[in-house]
Structure 1
Amino acid sequence: MIAKLNNWRGSPRKFVKYLRAVQNKKALDVVNKLKFVVSPYAEALRKLLLSAISNAANDPKINLDNLIVKEASVGRGPFLKRVTYRGRGRVGRVTKPLSNVYVLLKEGNNG
C-alpha cells in the first residue's frame, strides 16, 4: 500500500535519517517506536505510516501484522522564497524548503 505526503514544511535532507531507520522493518513496530521520538519529522512519518496502514486495511487479503516498510523515500518540493535584510541597504534571499515523502508497504516476514 502506498501513502504520500506532499509539500510538507521541512528539509528533505533532515527527513532522510528517519526514512533510513524504518526501511525493511515491521510497520506496526515502527509506528509504536516513533511515538517516543521528539521530532516533527518523526511525527509526520508516523502519521504517514498510519495512513498507509489504514489504506492496507481496506484490502481483506492483507494481514496487517505482516506489513513491512518496503520503500521510503523523500524528494525535493518547491521552495518558499523570502528576503532578509542585510547591511548597507542590501537584501539576501532565504529559501525555505518543502518535502515530498513516499512510503510503500508490502506484506512480508521481515522484522
Structure 2
Amino acid sequence: MEVRAIYKMARISPFKSRDVARSIKGMDARDAFNVLAFYPKKAARLIRKTLGSAIANAENNHNLRAQDLYVKGVFVDEGPKFRRYQPKARGSAGIIRKRTAHICVVLDEKENKS
C-alpha cells in the first residue's frame, strides 16, 4: 500500500533538492532517514522531515511497520516564485526570484519473498 507525505512551499530551489531526492530513491525507509541526517545540504533536512512524516503516516494511519517500507519515489516539483526587485543601473530594476518547491515522498511495502 502506498503511503505519501507532501511538504508544500518549501523555501528551497527544486534544482538543488532533486539531487538529494535521487540519492535515496529505492532505499529502505529507515536507512534513507539515517543517511539524510548526515547529508550536508539544506534539502536533505527538508526531505528528511517529509520522510519522517510519511513513516509516521504509515505507522499511525495504515498500521504498517517502518522496517517493511522502502522509498518508492521522491518528487520535487516547482512551486510558486516569490518575486523581489533590486535597483539596477540607470533607474531600472532587476528581478530576484525566490523559488519554492513541493516535496512529495512516496513509501511502499516491500514484497514478501515466500
**Between Structure 1 and Structure 2, how many residues are aligned?**
108
Summarize deviations over 1:48-90 as a string: whole Å, max 9, x none: 1000000011122x22102000011111100000001111111
Q: Distance in 2 between matches of 1:74 and 1:36?
A: 20
Which letter does structure 1 place at the counterpart of 2:102?
A: N
TM-score by length of 2: 0.90
Q: Distance in 2 between matches of 1:33 and 1:72?
A: 15
Within 5 A, what are the aligned runs for 1:71-86? 71-86=73-88
Give the drift of 1:11. 0.6
SS at match of 1:38: coil
Which letter does structure 1 place at the counterpart of 2:49?
A: K
Displaced runs of 4+ in structure 1, greater than 3 A? none
TM-score by length of 1: 0.92
Which letter does structure 1 place at the counterpart of 2:8?
A: N
Within 5 A, what are the aligned runs for 1:16-27? 16-27=18-29
Compare the two structures and name the one with the higher strand fraction.
1
Say whether residues 1:43 and 2:51 are aligned partners. no
- The counterpart of 2:89, out of the listed 72, 83, 87, is 87
Residue matched to 2:99: 97
Q: Distance in 2 between matches of 1:66 and 1:18?
A: 23
SS at match of 1:24: coil
Structure 1's unaligned 5+ residue stretches are none
